[in-house]
Amino acid sequence: MNMDRRSFLSACGCAPMAMQTAMDPGLFNSVGTKVRVTRMKVFGVSLTPDSDRPYVFVKIETNQGVVGWGEATLEGKAAAVMACVEDFKEHIIGADPMMVEHLWQSMYVHSFYRAGPVIGSAISGIDQALWDIRGKLMGMPVYKLLGGAYDTRGVRGYYHMRGTTLAQLREQREIARQEGITCFKGGIPGYYEWIDTSAKIRGAVKAMELLREGLGPDIDIGVDFHAKTSPSVAAVLVKEVEPLNLLFVEEPCPPENVKAMARISARSTTPIATGERLIASYGCRELIESGVVDILQPDINHTGGITALWKIGAMADFAGISMAPHACEGPIGGLATIHVDAATPNFLVQEICSGVKPEMKEKVWEEWLGFPAMRMVQGRFPLPEKPGLGFELKEESLKKYPFAGTKAMARVFHEDGSVAEW
């Protein structure tokens, strides 16, 4: 880094702002720092040629030699997000990277049409990179800039359940006991019609009962319905599994259907979680104000980055709602999420879409970053101590996994050929 902390702070003096019109692009030239963004790059990275979620990484360079990285991965829409990141260059090049809120607002508001997942993911990657730069310039991890950490032991997390038999579940319970893991997430089998048969419902209940039997009474279990169930089916299931004392049921119906979510929530004491498909704090407002969920799960790679996730956490805190962010993409977004978690008083638990045993992707992440990213120690993700997001990444290391193009996500159908949620 070419700029030490003392030199940076000396560049932060503010001069009186002259009266200018709101449309004047020079409005902020007299405030802020002398650091400026000189270049922004976007990379598509495919670990396998057929992956439906190639990583989209954003790199921002500055005139002080400080570099920031972020992640904008969007399942099934990689090329669209990469193009959107390119579109935002005119908002970012030449800007002061310390002004993260102003730049976030400019990208969101000046897009005119409100952000969906493509715009939201592009903003997410850029925002994470700006916060990475901000932390590096200030010489501290991002979670300290946000006011954390609340718990210096790290961030509690969970792995995804791998296995469907009792023997497989008990094996993972033993690994969890040895490694201090306290939480897992599983799912339910199959796809569900609007009103389904009692046999299908019994099968789903048995699958959840098997999870509890295999993992025992002391491990927390979340179950992801993945919006595969209609409100009618979900309302039955959440009532049936109350004796299992689940940590939460996730996405019992599509999250945009708030009134349906309220009907499900009213039927059961099982906590209800949702939010991975929602964009920005505005997208979560109705759920929070209505009080129909217990846990929010926004994804830092889609919802608008660190800036948006932090705001959602604050809104949820006022309403007595916990935060359990979604993270099923690459390592940069995962690491960025940990920083927000560590500074969030209503944080519950952090997802990572990995099993108790490291997989191919984790080995690649360690190859890139030099440490086992997003692997828990005694049931917690360690907090980075280096400035910014806590890692360095070289462009050259990404070339081993060239972008193989956008691949569609799974398309599933009911027996009669109608489209099914998956």
What's the distance, Cα to Cα, between the start and end of the chain in Å?
46
Using CA atoms, how far apart are residues 18 and 30, in angstroms rounded to an integer? 8
Indicate the burial class of 382 (C-beta count within 10 angstroms; 0-12, 13-18, 19 or more). Answer: middle
Strands 322-323 and 295-296 turn out to be: parallel
- How far, CA to CA in Å, does 251 sit from each of 184, 225, 257, 263? 16, 6, 11, 13
Backbone Cα Rg of the chain? 22
- Structural contact between residues 218 and 183, judged by C-beta atoms closer than 8 angstroms: no
Residues designated catalytic:
226, 326
CB under 8 Å to 402, separation ≥6 — which residues?
A: 45, 46
Q: What is the DSSP string of 158-204?
A: EEEP---SHHHHHHHHHHHHHHT--EEEEE--S---SS--HHHHHHH
- Structural contact between residues 98 and 134, judged by C-beta atoms closer than 8 angstroms: yes
Strands 419-420 and 412-413 turn out to be: antiparallel
Q: Which residue type, as a one-letter code, is found at position 57?
A: F
Q: Which residue type, as a one-letter code, is found at position 286?
A: E
- How far, CA to CA in Å, does 117 sit from each of 84, 106, 295? 11, 17, 21
